């Protein structure tokens, strides 16, 4: 049994599928002369399989999601065709008698080193793509040596170091029931993807890749973050029962899709969804969201080979709004930097403190040409829908000066579109509250903006000075920490007092314990992974605002995170014993 961080609730059992084991235990074996030809054939086999898989993904993503999102797979195929790439692998196999996984490992090392030294823009931009391609090749190489594709049919638990963007997209292809990662935490990319698909997941299990082999039976318990490898029959039977209950509960909750979100004492709530790409908008409809509280536009940029132009952005945003519940969408401008980088925007060297560095609007301000383009595209879309349906939101706002500057950019966008003969409507403009400085000076900011959305994923990491992606400090990066709750209560109170709509769109909004507390603090708008909406709707119907307020009063007297968690776990057991399976610690 191993313990990590519970990042997506529920219980799942399946066959382990280890994604890139070759990089954990690089192969040191030297080939015999007689093995060289077969090893070259292995490599060609893997290359053909990877090419075919990428082509299939490209076609599928293009038809189901869009051309821009499919372009990542076009780029990956080009890397596979690249002569320098393949010649190096071949020569190491032939001249140095390396196995192909070892050659790939060496190639990855070379590219990574080049990335830090070279001025070659092409290499810099492509490092992430090259890495992704090498890992994909590696997974087929282990198949070539020891065919594992028979496992791909069954219910699978993906075990990996971290989930790469292309792997996340490809998850839709296979029957993945659970995810276990070595790196990552509550708010890492893998966690957000797992939650948006309703897949139980555990992150931050050190050394798990060395202990699990493809084909092992694995239990993922996303309630308390533990993973069992090849459990004994009694334990397996107990988990099968829990897994069945988890499925039944999900099916049952999905039935309340068309019911309104109201508390036990009849107060209406807005339960909205966080989305990244078009299919998520459809999931939001399927799960009964009333709108989109956070559309992360960076995924359009991340899957695009260069800056998407105004028309492309306009088309993408419009199709998202059209597909979204009630055509209601809060579009967030580019939030790049921190854990996500785009080389074509000049993020070519690693910063010492990327989360505190050149990210979000700080980066956008230095690229006024593309920032203005994005603002114009959003204004154009908003002007085509009823007033207030489409809102624009800026991430990482830190100072009043920034808000003034942003607003003047929005005004310029109206003007420039009008000059081109395009009619515009004023759209609501809001800020994400993610930086402690903004929480402290919220009163002087509220006059300038139309709404606030609290990005608790970042707010918590900045308040606690604990990186949201680093499992070593995950015990500090806790949304239920007393200082975090105090700040949230103050900010929500300030917004209510100033009559400004306020939402929480960080991951905590969709977790039962935090939901109750936020509701008790006066919050009525929540935005979360679509998969959480049915359970939160159910929970809301079982608790009154009055009771939630009492709970907040008691919790605000507690001094430690673990006291808050224990107290809230007892509350959930009493208020919603039917939902305990969906709670995380
Ligand atoms: C947040 O910080 O809470 C948030 C919703 O934004 P992101 O997770 O995209 O940083
Ligand atoms: Mg954020």
Among residues 189, 304, 477, 495, the one annotated as catalytic is 189
Query: Which pLDDT does position 472 carry in this prediction?
Result: 86
| Same-domain pairing of 186 and 273 | no
Residue identifier of the C-alpha nearest atom 3 of ligand 1:
455
| pLDDT at position 585 | 62
Residue 509: predicted pLDDT? 96
Give the pLDDT confidence score for residue 21 in this predicted structure: 47
Q: Is the pLDDT of residue 452 over 90?
A: yes
Ligand 2 centre to CA of 558 (Å) is 27
257 belongs to a structural domain: no
Whether residue 505 lies in the annotated active site: yes
Q: Both tokens of residue 376?
A: 């114009």
Domain-located, residue 207:
yes
Taking alpha carbons only, the member of 489, 575, 497 closest to residue 538 is: 575
Condensed to tens digits (0 to 9), the pLDDT of residues 470-510 reads 878 989 999 999 999 999 999 999 999 999 999 999 999 99
Q: Is the pLDDT of residue 9 over 60?
A: yes
Which residue has 């905590």 as its token pair? 508
Burial of 13 by CB count in 10 Å (0-12 exposed, 13-18 middle, 19+ buried)? buried
Other beta carbons within 10 angstroms of residue 70's beta carbon come to 19
Average pLDDT over residues 113-142: 69
Q: In this model, does residue 98 exceed pLDDT 80? A: yes
Tell me which of 138-147, 268-277, 385-394, 449-458 is least confident. 138-147
Q: Is 230 left (phi over 0), alpha (psi -120 to 50) or beta?
A: left
Give the closest residue (by CA) to ligand 1 atom 8.
Answer: 457
Give the pLDDT of residue 149.
Answer: 52
Task: Kindly indicate the confidence band of residue 122, based on its pLDDT and cuts at 50, 70 and 90.
Answer: low
Catalytic, out of 304, 477, 495, 505: 505
Crossing angle for the helix pair 100-117 and 83-96, nearest 10 degrees? 130
Residue range 333-382, pLDDT digits in tens: 999 876 666 666 766 556 778 888 888 999 999 989 999 999 999 999 99
Q: Are residues 121 and 197 in the same domain?
A: no
Whether residue 292 sits in one domain with residue 153: no
Q: Based on the domain organization, do 506 and 404 belong to the same domain?
A: yes
CATH number of domain containing 457: 3.20.20.60
Confidence of residue 145 (pLDDT cuts 50, 70, 90): very low
Interval between CA 578 and ligand 2 midpoint (Å): 31
Same structural domain, 522 and 457: yes
- Asked whether the predicted pLDDT for residue 160 surpasses 90, the reply is no
**512 in ligand 1 pocket by Cβ < 6 Å?**
no
Quote the pLDDT of residue 183: 80
| 189 is annotated as an active-site residue | yes
Residue 29 has what pLDDT?
A: 79
Of the pLDDT bands very low, low, confident and very high (cuts 50, 70, 90), residue 111 is confident
Shared domain check, 39 and 13: no
pLDDT confidence of 258, banded at 50, 70, 90?
confident
The better pLDDT of the pair 14, 70 is held by 14
Same domain for 165 and 194?
yes
pLDDT at position 209 over 70: yes
Q: Could you tell me whether strands 429-433 and 451-454 are parallel, antiparallel, or unpaired per DSSP bridges? A: parallel
Does residue 144 have its Cβ closer than 6 Å to ligand 1?
A: no
**Binding site membership of 328 for ligand 1 (Cβ less than 6 Å):** no
Is the shortest distance between the CB of 538 and ligand 1 below 6 Å? Answer: no
Q: What is the residue range of 555's domain?
A: 269-582
Instruction: Please name which of 131, 174, 165 lies closest in space to residue 15, comparing C-alpha atoms.
Output: 174
**One domain, residues 538 and 554:** yes
Q: Is 105 in the same domain as 153?
A: no
Of 251, 282, 297, the residue at which a domain comes to its end is: 251
Domain at 205, CATH number? 3.50.30.10
Task: pLDDT band for 136, please (50, 70, 90 cuts).
Answer: confident
Say what the pLDDT of residue 374 is: 97
Assign residue 52 the CATH number of its domain.
Answer: 1.10.274.10
The domain tally of the chain equals 3
Q: How far is the CA of 396 from the centre of ligand 2 (A)?
A: 7
Same domain, 121 and 103: yes
Q: Do residues 467 and 555 make contact, with C-beta atoms less than 8 angstroms apart?
A: no
Cβ atoms of residues 210 and 24 within 8 Å: yes
Q: Which of 203, 219, 251 is the last residue of a domain?
A: 251
Specify whether 468 is located in the same domain as 446. Answer: yes
561 found inside a domain: yes
The preferred substitution site among 300, 356, 505 for testing ligand 1, maximizing ligand atoms within 8 Å of CB, is 505
Q: Which pairing describes strands 201-203 and 176-181: parallel, antiparallel, or unpaired?
A: parallel
Residues 457 and 376 in one domain: yes
What pLDDT does residue 232 have?
A: 93
Task: Quote the CA–CA distance of 114 and 108 in Å, as a whole number.
Answer: 10
Q: Does residue 256 lie in a domain region? A: no
Predicted local confidence at residue 436, as pLDDT: 98
Residue 459 to residue 435: CA distance in whole angstroms: 6
Give the pLDDT confidence score for residue 144 in this predicted structure. 45
């Amino acid at each position: 049994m191993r313990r990590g961080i519970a990042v997506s609730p529920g219980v799942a059992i399946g066959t382990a599928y280890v994604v890139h084991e070759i990089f954990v235990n690089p192969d040191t074996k030297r080939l015999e002369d007689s093995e060289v030809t077969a090893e070259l054939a292995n490599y060609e086999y893997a290359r053909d399989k990877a090419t075919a898989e990428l082509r299939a993904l490209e076609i599928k993503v293009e038809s189901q999601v869009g051309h821009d999102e499919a372009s990542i797979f076009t780029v990956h195929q080009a890397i596979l065709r690249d002569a320098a790439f393949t010649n190096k692998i071949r020569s190491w196999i032939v001249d140095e008698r390396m196995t192909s996984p070892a050659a790939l490992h060496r190639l990855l090392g070379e590219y990574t080193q080049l990335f830090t030294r070279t001025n070659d823009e092409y290499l810099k931009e492509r490092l992430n793509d090259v890495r992704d391609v090498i890992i994909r090749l590696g997974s087929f190489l282990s198949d070539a040596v020891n065919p594992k594709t028979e496992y791909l049919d069954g219910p699978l638990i993906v075990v990996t170091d971290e989930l790469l963007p292309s792997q996340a997209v490809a998850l839709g292809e296979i029957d993945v029931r659970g995810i276990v990662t070595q790196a990552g935490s509550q708010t890492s990319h893998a966690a957000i993807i797992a939650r948006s698909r309703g897949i139980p997941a555990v992150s931050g299990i050190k050394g798990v890749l060395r202990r699990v082999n493809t084909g092992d039976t694995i239990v993922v318990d996303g309630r308390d973050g533990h993973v069992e490898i090849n459990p004994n029959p009694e334990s397996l039977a107990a988990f099968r029962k829990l897994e069945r209950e988890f499925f039944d509960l999900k099916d049952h909750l999905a039935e309340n899709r068309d019911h309104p979100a109201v508390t036990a004492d009849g107060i209406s709530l807005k339960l909205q969804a966080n989305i990244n790409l078009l299919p998520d908008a459809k999931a939001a409809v399927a799960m009964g969201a009333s709108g989109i509280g956070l559309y992360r536009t960076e995924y359009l940029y991340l899957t695009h080979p260069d800056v998407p132009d105004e028309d492309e952005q306009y088309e993408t945003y419009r199709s998202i709004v059209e597909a979204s519940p009630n055509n209601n969408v809060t579009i967030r401008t580019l939030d790049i930097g921190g854990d996500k980088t785009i080389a074509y925007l000049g993020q070519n060297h690693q910063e010492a403190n990327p989360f505190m560095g050149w990210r979000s609007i700080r980066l956008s301000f230095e690229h006024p040409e593309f920032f203005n383009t994005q603002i114009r595209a959003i204004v154009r879309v908003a002007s085509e829908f009823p007033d207030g349906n489409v809102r624009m939101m800026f991430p990482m706002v830190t100072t009043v000066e920034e808000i003034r500057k942003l607003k003047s950019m929005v005004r310029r966008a109206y003007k420039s579109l009008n000059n081109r003969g395009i009619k515009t409507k004023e759209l609501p403009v809001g800020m994400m509250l993610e930086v402690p400085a903004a929480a402290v000076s919220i009163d002087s900011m509220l006059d300038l903006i139309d709404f606030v959305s609290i990005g608790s994923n970042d707010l918590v990491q900045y308040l606690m000075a604990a990186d949201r992606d680093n499992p070593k400090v995950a015990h500090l990066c806790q949304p239920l920490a007393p200082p975090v709750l105090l700040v949230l209560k103050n900010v929500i109170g300030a917004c209510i007092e100033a009559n400004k709509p306020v939402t929480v769109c960080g991951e905590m909004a969709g977790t039962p314990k935090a939901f109750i507390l936020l509701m008790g603090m006066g919050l009525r708008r929540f935005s979360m992974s679509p998969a959480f909406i049915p359970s939160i709707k159910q929970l809301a119907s079982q608790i009154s605002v009055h009771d939630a307020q009492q709970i907040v009063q008691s919790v605000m007297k507690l001094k430690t995170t673990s006291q808050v968690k224990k107290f809230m776990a007892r509350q959930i057991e009493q208020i919603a014993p039917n939902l305990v399976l969906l709670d995380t610690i």
